[in-house]
Amino acid sequence: MPQNIRYTLLSLRDLMVSIGPVALLTAALLALTYWWLDPNPPQRVVLATGPDQSAYDEFGKRYAEALRRYGITVELMPSEGSSANLELLRSGQADLGFVQGGTADIGYDDEESIVSLGSLFVEPLWLFYREDAAQRLNSMSTVANLAELQGWRVNVGTPGSGVPRLFRTLLDVNRIDTGQLKLSELEQTPATVAFLNGDLDALVFASAPESLMVQMLLQTPGIKLMDFAQSEAYSRRFGYLTPVVMPQGVVDLAADIPARDVRLVASTTSLLASAKTHPAILQLFAQTATGLHGRPGWFSRAREYPSLEHSEVPISPEAVRAIKSGPPFLQRYLPFWIANLIERMWLAMGLIIALALPLSRIVPPLYTFRIRSRVFRWYAELRDIEQRHESLNDDTATPVQELIDQLDTMERKVEKIVVPLSYTDELYALRNNIHLVRKKLLRNVN
């Protein structure tokens, strides 16, 4: 290897050693920041959905498929429905869950431990009844209001769905004693079977129109859907309810199903999450919600949902950014994991760099000290030889020849010193000083 390259390599080596303390401190701060911020999300989350074949179950599968592209496994946890999902969130058994407005008791404690990713869709209260039951019990083929259900066998769903609570609220406001109805709380699938077999007169549940159960019942002969003529009044009495209209023919244009507009009352379903859920997970779910629920539907126009309104708990900041601004800038051009790491670490990295820059000012002096110390440390020995020569008249003085031998040994060692070319003037100055001391010693020998 040529000498000038060797000198350069030695210079770089000393430079790296000089930079070492600052680099180690910076790396330690970055590691501590990474541990504290925990920028990378877990690869597995639990989403509380609902009964089989429900809209919650269907949407849960779509979320799982969407997040699989990012390497996130979404474990779907079936439940009885909205109220059960809220309890799963409170207990920490689920990270996220679908919760319908007005079907669960949300208290002040929930505002601290649960956040919302926005309202996803409206969930009408479907009241299907058998046409033959209406003719048998009311001598009419249609049901105009809830008061006409007195004496009917009505299934209102399981307590975990929240529908029994909502339906009883509607009965109370209509001054209907629940004892005048034969209410049951069967699960949706066995209740539907009993309803179709004639063991039940009416079926009440809340679900999005995407539910297979809704689609099937709307097209079943002899099954009718109650028209809530007072839907606007219900929405004025209860803030979590909103009036919606199912347009004529929206189910099947060719068969003209339904044959006329049907007025319904609906509550908005939100995607709630534990406040402890990783922010990157919340961001991904909010972005996915924009794609899944932003399309036009039976009760909404394009991009009307997800919405930041109708929330009973605080909205997550990640959801606000995702719904209003879409994916972050970096995620549009970089893989999710890299973009997420930069987005969540950039501020801390900036602060660390701001701290490291002043510390880096010690690197040049430290580097200079390391190089010059190879030369300057020999001056102590050279000065010692000279001082012992000046004390030759003392009884303890070292013989001149011995001093010369020490000087020769030191010179041989100094000749092996290698320094960068920019510091060779100091090396040669040391060698000249050694020669000067030798001349001084030789004068006494002669």
Give 395-422 pLDDT, tens digit per residue. Answer: 555 677 888 888 888 888 888 877 777 7
Strand 96-100 and strand 202-206: the pairing is unpaired
Taking 60 as the threshold, does the pLDDT of residue 423 lie above it?
yes
**E strand residue ranges, 292-429:** none
pLDDT confidence of residue 267:
86
- Three-class secondary structure assignment of 93-107: CCCEEEEECCCCCCC
pLDDT confidence of residue 1:
47
Q: If we measure between CA atoms, which residue out of 143, 123, 241 comes closest to residue 154?
A: 143
Distance CA 312, CA 116 (A): 8
Contact, 319 vs 280, CB < 8 A?
no
* Angle of helix 3-37 versus helix 336-359 axis, rounded to 10: 120
Q: Summarize the confidence of residues 311-320 as an average pLDDT.
A: 87
Strand 44-48 and strand 96-100: the pairing is parallel
pLDDT confidence of residue 352:
64
Provide the pLDDT confidence category of residue 9 given band limits of 50, 70 and 90.
very low
Rg (C-alpha) for the chain, rounded Å, is 41
Q: Summarize the confidence of residues 329-338 as an average pLDDT.
A: 72
Would you state the structure tokens that stand for residue 51, as one six-digit string? 């009964």
Domain limits of the chain? 3-24+361-445, 97-327
Return phi, psi of residue 398, to 5°. Answer: -80, 135
Of 420 and 197, the structure prediction assigns the larger pLDDT to: 197
Is there a cis peptide before residue 243, judged by omega within 30 degrees of 0? no
Would you state the structure tokens that stand for residue 13, as one six-digit string? 């080596």
Note the Cα 229 to chain centre separation in Å. Answer: 43
Most confident range, picked from 15-29, 180-194, 207-221, 309-323: 180-194
> For 131-149, how does the pLDDT look when each residue is reduced to its tens digit (9 = 90+)?
999 998 888 888 988 989 9
Q: Summarize the confidence of residues 172-187 as an average pLDDT.
A: 90
Considering only the top CATH level, what class is 97-327?
alpha beta
pLDDT confidence of residue 193:
92
Most confident range, picked from 112-116, 223-227, 302-306, 322-326: 223-227
Q: Across the chain, what does the average pLDDT equal?
A: 82
Contact, 120 vs 305, CB < 8 A?
yes
Distance CA 224, CA 128 (A): 6
Would you state the structure tokens that stand for residue 271, as one six-digit string? 């995607």
